[in-house]
Structure formats: structure tokens, C-alpha cells
Amino acid sequence: MSDSIFDRAQTSARFLRQRLASEIDVAVVLGSGLGVFADTLTEPVIIPYEEIPDFARSTVEGHSGRLVAGKLPGSSINVAVMQGRFHYYEGYSLDEVTLPIRTFGAMGVKKLVLTNAAGGVNVEFKQGDLMLLTDHINLMMISPLRGKHDDRLGVRFPDMTEVYSREYRRIARECAAEIGIDLREGVYMSLQGPNYETPAEIRMMRILGADAVGMSTVPEAIVASQMGVKTLGISLITNAAAGIEDGPINHTDVMEMGRRVSGQFCELLTKVIARM
């Protein structure tokens, strides 16, 4: 493995350039239960993560662990899709978690879509809602930029005023209205996991201004901001967070909700990417 995250990203990028016939226009990271979007691409090239230099392995159900590159249906837009991501709670460092985003940046990708499955903190949200990320709160309590700085990765102190592009959110709202989706908007809070949150923690999150909670996305978004990559974030609200409704929370239900809304999710994502 190379010494620096910059070198590792360059190595991974060179490998992918050799395997892919076209430059990538938009990169997408798919969360738990949302991997079906990758199957909609035409002329797909499928590369398991274990073949990509320095990429980690997805160990969570619902994360297939492969990169799928192809064309957006009905267009000439080239899309690279991570069918599953790496999580900090799996024991990976944040350098490993964010290496794919660094790799896309090294390949010249300037448009990114981050998706995730999240618990609804906002009591007005219901299962199956899609939420645009307007902002985030990082309660993972660690930054992927921590450590020795490398100017080749971006500035040391990147601005976080607009992590999630206002322009892309406008496009998403317009597309959702056209296909009749009641698209939510809100603040995503990220924790380390892998345990779900307690009811007391959820009450705290609501006081702090969170609308949804999960265990991913924020490190990737921070790194993208540092590299100047415009980002759209979409959460699938798979369950009410602890204490809002009776009953336990489990990953099986998260996966099932992803399957139930897959058609609607794919339709929205396809329309949005076509306009980005």
C-alpha cells in the first residue's frame, strides 16, 4: 500500500481509467438497500472492490461491494456507482472510508451523489420518505481531514457553508415534483455506530436540529467539499428512530424499505443525474 492517501487515490484512479472506456461524468454512492440503481445502467462494466488497488471491502448486508460504471438510461452520461460503501464502524480508518471519493476526485469527477438509509428523527417524517440533505451535524466526533496535511488533496481548512449544493437540491425538488414525489428536506446527523441510538439520544438530536440520523455519508461529503466536488445528498427514511414509535429497530427492516421504494428512488435519481 502506498504511503499517502493522495498516492493511493492516484493508484486506484489509474487502475479505473484503464478498465473504463469513458471518462466519468457523475459518481454515485448507494446506501443500504439502494443498490438496485446500479442495475439500471446500460453498457455496464462491473468491478468488484477487491480488484481495485487499496479499496476496502464492504462487510454489511445490502452493500454488494462492487463498482458499476455505465451510461444513464436513455443518455450518453457516464456514471460510476459504488454499490455499497465502507463504514467507520467496520473498523476502517476514515482514509479508507473516503478513498473512493478521493479516487473519483483524482479521475476528474466534479459531480457526486451520496445516498444513505437513515432513521427519521423528525416526527413528521414517515417510513419510505426521501430526504434531501440541506446540511449535516458530525457527531462521529472525528474528521477525515485529521492528521498530516497534504496540499494536493485540497486546502487545510475547507469551507463547509454549502456542503450539499443548493443548485442540485433545486434540481432534485423540480424532478420530484414532476414525478409526484413528496420530497423532504432536512439535516442529517452522523454517528459512529454500529449500534442504533437510544431514545434519549434521539431526543438530544432533535433538540440539536437533526431531522435524520445515520452512520455514513458525512466523511465522504467533507472530503468532497475539500476537493471542490459538488455534492447532492439523499436519505431514505427507513424507520422512525428509537422512542418515536414502539418496537425495535433492525437492519432487515431497513433493507426491506429500500426494496419497497427502489422504483421511485431509481426514477428520481435518473432524472436528477440527467440534469446535473
pLDDT in tens, 159-194: 999 999 999 999 999 999 999 999 999 999 999 999
- Percentage helix, strand, coil for the chain under 3-state DSSP, each rounded to 5: 35, 25, 40
| Residue 239 annotated among the catalytic residues of the structure | yes
Cell of 80: 460510476
Q: In the prediction, which pLDDT does 60 show?
A: 62
What is the C-alpha to C-alpha distance for residues 71 and 8, in angstroms, rounded to an integer?
26
Q: Which of 9, 13, 27, 32 is catalytic?
A: 32
End-to-end CA separation in angstroms for the chain: 35
Report field, pTM of the whole predicted structure over 0.95: no
Which residues form the domain of 33? 5-275
CATH number at residue 161: 3.40.50.1580
pLDDT tops 70 at residue 127: yes
Instruction: Determine phi and psi for 226, rounding to 5 degrees.
Output: -60, -35
pLDDT tops 90 at residue 243: no
Q: Which of 13, 117, 205, 227 is catalytic?
A: 117
| Residue 117 annotated among the catalytic residues of the structure | yes
Give the DSSP H/E element, type plus range, for residue 42.
Answer: strand 42-48
Q: Which of 92, 251, 255, 274 is catalytic?
A: 251
pLDDT tops 80 at residue 36: yes
Q: In the prediction, which pLDDT does 239 show?
A: 76
| Residue 251 annotated among the catalytic residues of the structure | yes
pLDDT band at 241 (very low <50, low <70, confident <90, very high): low
Which of these, 194, 257, 248, 243, lies nearest to 62 by C-alpha position?
Answer: 257
The model's pLDDT over 201-235, given as tens digits with 9 standing for 90+, comes to 999 999 999 999 999 999 999 999 999 999 999 99
Tell me the DSSP string of 185-231. Answer: EEEEEE---SSPPPHHHHHHHHHHT-SEEESSSHHHHHHHHHHT-EE
pLDDT tops 60 at residue 35: yes
| Residue 195 annotated among the catalytic residues of the structure | no
HSE-CB for 156 with a 13 A CA cutoff: 4
Q: In the prediction, which pLDDT does 260 show?
A: 76
Which of these, 207, 179, 202, lies nearest to 272 by C-alpha position?
Answer: 179
What is the C-alpha to C-alpha distance for residues 276 and 232, in angstroms, rounded to an integer?
10
Burial class (CB in 10 A: 0-12, 13-18, 19+), 121: buried
Q: Which of 116, 122, 165, 216 is catalytic?
A: 216
Q: Averaged over 242-247, what is the pLDDT?
A: 56
Q: How many CB atoms lie within 10 A of CB 18?
A: 7
Strand pairing report for 111-120 and 26-30: parallel
Q: Which of 215, 221, 227, 276 is catalytic?
A: 215
| Residue 87 annotated among the catalytic residues of the structure | yes
Q: Which of 64, 87, 165, 189 is catalytic?
A: 87
Q: In the prediction, which pLDDT does 246 show?
A: 58
Pick 248 or 85 by higher pLDDT: 85
| Residue 215 annotated among the catalytic residues of the structure | yes
Cell of 158: 475547507
| Number of domains, the chain | 1
Rg (CA), the chain: 17
pLDDT band at 61 (very low <50, low <70, confident <90, very high): low
Region of residue 31 (left: phi > 0; alpha: psi -120 to 50; beta: else): beta
Cell of 144: 477525515
Can you say how many angstroms the Cα of residue 250 is from the centroid of all Cα atoms in its chain? 20
Q: In the prediction, which pLDDT does 272 show?
A: 97
